[in-house]
Amino acid sequence: MLAFLTQRLLQIIPTLIIVSMLIFGLQQLLPGDPALIMAGEERDPKVLAEIREQYKLDQPIPVQYLYWVKGVLTGNLGESMRLKSSVSSLVAEKLPVTLQLAFMALLIAIGVGIPAGIVSAVKKETLWDYGANLFALWGLSTPNFWLGILMIFLFSVTLGWLPASGYVRLGEDWKSSLATTIMPAFVLGNALAAVLMRHTRSAMLQAMGTDYVRTARAKGLHENRVVLKHALRNAMTPVITLLALDFGTLLSGAVLTEQIFSIPGFGKLIVDSVFNRDYAVVQGVVLVTSSIYISLNLLADVAYVLVNPRLRG
């Protein structure tokens, strides 16, 4: 296991270097000059020169990249040109909001999608199977913005059970925090649960037809033990991959849902930064998101070995 982890960590280093170069290089392709945006309407040449000098915009792109990498290695992701605050503080402020939302959505998806997939595979071509597939079709076909608006109308406007928008931090009031995030978490978890159900069903059907499952049944083991210990454990590998990738997607792809429910999360931060040509924030946010993606893939590889002992060799 230690050798496996060392090998994977050594692979991550060049990956992060390439990702950082892509992030910085593609950033330069965005139209517009951030110095002009910061200078205001007058755009005094002296002010423009000072801004470009302060943020190293007057330097060649390779030099700007080296300055940025040097800052990243020391924990400094730069300064927001628009908000006049450090990117690290913005990330520290916004990331926990989206992390909470993503974790809740993931828990909803796992709690609904995986059991539905297991039942659908075990009860193949029965009403249970048809019902689970109908649920998956509904989840995949329902737009997030429509479901979000519908839930606001039902649970906030009509029933008055939950707040329509806003966000309360978990540390301030956990009940209010859950109340403000349960609807957007369900909206995000709904589609993911449908995808999980389909992948779990497919993996379970494949596992149920293998020799080791037939052998377990021939030994007289209880069907629940056969399904949960032998079939499910070996069917979890593709599901783990999906969970790792989709959790990263939740962190970077919750923009629309955050907008509908007025949640000040990670997605909204990066969209605002792109529109305002706030290069440092865009670079910092994308770098953090990419690092999380890479870390999740490493955790998925470790989970493969823990779930499936045959991979340990």
pLDDT digits (tens, 9 = 90+) for 157-216: 998 899 988 888 888 888 889 999 999 999 988 888 998 998 899 988 888 888 878 888
Domains of the chain (ranges, CATH numbers): 95-266 (1.10.3720.10)
Q: Which pLDDT score, from 0 to 100, does residue 186 have?
A: 92
Q: Which pLDDT score, from 0 to 100, does residue 42 have?
A: 64
| Residue 254: pLDDT over 60 | yes
Residues 128 and 124: their CA atoms lie apart, in Å, by 8
What does the mean pLDDT of the chain come to? 82
**Among 103-107, 296-300, 309-313, which stretch is predicted with the lowest mean pLDDT?**
309-313
Q: What predicted TM-score, i.e. pTM, was given to this entire model?
A: 0.79
Residue reference for tokens 């998956």:
136
Which is more confidently placed, 313 or 205? 205
Max mean pLDDT among 65-79, 153-167, 219-233 falls in 153-167
What is the signed CA dihedral for 282, 284, 289, 295, rounded to 10 degrees? Answer: 160
Q: By three-state DSSP, how is residue 262 classified?
A: coil
Two structure tokens written together for 177? 């925090």
Q: Which pLDDT score, from 0 to 100, does residue 17 have?
A: 86
Two structure tokens written together for 17? 């270097």
Two structure tokens written together for 249? 């997607």
Q: Which pLDDT score, from 0 to 100, does residue 266 have?
A: 79
Give the tens place of pLDDT for each residue, 266-310.
Answer: 777 877 787 777 778 888 888 888 888 888 877 877 776 676 655
Q: Which pLDDT score, from 0 to 100, does residue 41 have?
A: 65
For 15, 22, 24, 78, 271, the CA distances from 287, given in Å and listed in that order, are 12, 10, 9, 12, 15
